[in-house]
Structure 1
């Protein structure tokens, strides 16, 4: 098997890889493309052994590396001459990675910590960058004193010297995202997909959409193959096109059935149309989907109720 803890480095087709492995089955990977274009890609997650292979869980996909021997890993499709192999001398020299991150944040006794959901590893948090926004949101939304709160951030994870003890991988908050009270890493790991899931519309522009049986459930669904969406606040059904790419999401102006609706539902329909027209992005954490405007403001919150 592979050595752990250890850093494996090498290249694939002219690109560069830096892979850090830990015994708790966490990993960090930083790689650049063969032509050197664009910023390095960063990933964090868990690895597992599968026969003679080491499998990295990248979230949306997995990456398989052939274990040639304890010091050498070979990416799938790499040449047999070993020129693209990743090799280690048995030492661990963690890379600096930058990526969107979700996890459980805790602040107590001036010692903030972050448990990264992707790896399960706990890191100290540097009180710099956009950290003040994260701490303020935590103090406002935390479930109790020193209790963890699920948050999303854009983070850099880098080796940093500590006031006491050895150098540790430390989270630097590049951009605070949001808090998600009630969510936790276990639910985020089983997050539903954007398309194919039936979402219940919970709120629009921060105002809760009241619903209870036997009234018709407010719903929202995106159909991947057809590129269309259906939505309703409980009366007419809207249908239109959508475009999604990673975190971006936009909608075409929808058509709608023409039933007469109670005044309150008619007003909600108008607001839903406005929200969809202003949507430029989305983020999913746990079972919650948030639709975002171009400036990052939350325009709608939806809850997964039926999974594909």
Structure 2
């Protein structure tokens, strides 16, 4: 019974994502560690918890039972399967498949990094590595601060912005200055704190709740991930309301609570506000693939879709977190530097191999290098990256590699 909801999710996503075949060239990569949030087309997110030994992945989706997958051999990257579901990926990009339907997703946030807190002007923001944030803001004339939570992402629209989307559709955007400062659109600055602040407090939370064998599970609408519910407080009242309202232990129902987060990252329930049998969370805004640490493969060059006799020689590009990029032109490989800031994106090519290739491949290489030199801005939409020149012309379109 657990398979139908995910199959419907994949079917709904089919129109929003075109999934490429995997590149058969072997390039072994380790599986992620810990819990990673993945963002998918249409705002359909899920989490995957990877075991310390890398042998198992557990898929978690708001309101659905957990799905355990075992690691299987993969020609490149990593792969997990239970003969019905398959999770296959490289780096930050994965493809999730069920019953022949697939969707390509990408890791949210910065998996493996510690939380980061920024403070300034009465505002405190903590960014968690799973792509969620919590916020505390002092308000004039009130002793009670404003508390908010939601999702954060680096969005590329010409230049790069750190964007927070929280309650009531609120959106805050910042420029990142180095690694220790955020500058808001109004010019106010936030400096990175020496130690992370978990931002303890009482939040008004709505989301999907169900009881499980080892305790309650709650998926707040604003963050797209599932938390355990800590015992105590008003948790028994919440559980009783759910038991009285549901005919099945696998059914999740919409609830509203006042609560917070404890040291184990579980949700605590101070007050149970209500339950709605027909309630549901609104869809979250879709987050684009991360520009950095993603392998981008060329699909369009100067308005044309080049044809390749061997599609494995299609040009590709990867940007790291240190201002360096590597690329294949389809013939030769190269490296260099890039600058990504609020003004846009600019590449400075470095050394390149000097192999001789077929005339068609050499022609594509020449056009690829000319386009790369002209890039001034970028735009990411889902798993598509557009690279644009100073005149506003799209010189390249690339797709994130998902498997």
Same fold (TM over 0.5): no
TM-score between the two structures when normalised by the length of structure 1: 0.42
- Greater RCO, CA 8 A, separation 6+: 2
TM-score between the two structures when normalised by the length of structure 2: 0.34
